[in-house]
A = this chain, B = another copy of it.
Amino acid sequence: MVKIIKIAVDLQGADRAPTELADGAFAALRDNKDLFLYLCGDRALLEEYMKNKGYSSERAEFVDAPETITNNEDPAEAFRIKKNSSLVKGMELCKSDPEIEGFVSCGPTGAIFVSAMMQLGRMANVSPMLLVELKKTDGSPICIVDCGANVDCRAEKLVDFARMGIAYMKAVGISDPSVGLLSNGAEDRKGSAVVKKANELLRESGLRFLGNVEGNGILSGNADVIVCDGFSGNILLKTIEGSAKAVIAELREMSAASNTDNDEIIRKLYSKYDHNTQGGAVLLGTKLPIIKGHGAATAETVYNIIKAAYRLAENDLADKIKNEFAPRTAALV
């Protein structure tokens, strides 16, 4: 008997229409025969769209939630008021059904965060944070933790982020992930007060800590997990994307000026550094992994982030996180 992987999908709160995003969900269902999706949104609208498109799946169920939480609302306020939103109803379902192994949304990060904290609750004593996976120059994966959830934070939290990052990298197939601490210099004595303290704590942690890493040592460096607070991580992530796109724009211009056909190269580079074609950010630290797609998500994004959630469920990410935080006393005796 094949195990079925159940994932809940919030189709609202992004820039594009829920029906457009639904295309990505149905594509994921077609490609993965052991996938079951709960699709949260305006049921009447979605059912009609599904009928018109000729989609059918025994492995999809609609969760009727006509309200939408947008990026223009105060997250806590929206959470309090909009109990019929796709986000809140989706999370409610996740809370009540322990078989659901992931939640996927392209809605506003703040509201997802509030909803996950309030409805699912945090795992152990960690502070939930956002992880983003990127590809290095050589094609191997790295992750950045935290990418924006914890803007001001204590050094101790950075060690928790490292542990969650390690669990994630194990779930994507890296056997003994190494950790680098984002700083303004490679030497241990470099960094803000918080970073210097985090360096000490990571040195004592027993984790495979390689030391500080700088902004120019991420995409071509050795660390699998890049640890930072949410402020620096957000700047790091957006700067990588922005700089790559700047170079690609210049390449496009120079190619046109010199009549060189670089269309295929440009397409490949762009897709590598474009948010929409990547796997999205992963909110870790609440009781369920949550995959957050970009607000400008397309059907392709939704397809990709459902696949990402599926892969993480398949590799028992939640268990791997628990293991990283399990007391190590037995091993020390």
Contact = CB atoms under 8 A, between A and B. Distances in A.
A13 interface: no
Interface stretch (A1-9, A16-24, A240-248, A296-304): A240-248
Contacts of A239: 215-216, 218, 235-236, 239-240, 243
A273 to B, nearest CB: 7
A234 interface: yes
Interface of A: 136-137, 148, 151-152, 182-185, 191-193, 195, 214-220, 230-232, 234-251, 254-255, 258, 260-262, 264-265, 268-269, 272-273
A193 B194 CA distance: 14
Contacts of A273: 247
Nearest to A253: B137
Contact of A235 (B219, B235, B241, B260): B235
B260 A261 contact: yes
Given A238-B216, A246-B219, A231 B184 contact: yes
5 contacts: A184-B230, A192-B231, A214-B242, A215-B240, A216-B238
B265 A251 contact: yes
A242 B260 contact: no
Given A242-B220, A262-B262, A250 B232 contact: no
A232 B216 CA distance: 13
A264 B269 contact: no
A250 B268 CA distance: 10
Nearest to A255: B265
A242 B215 CA distance: 7
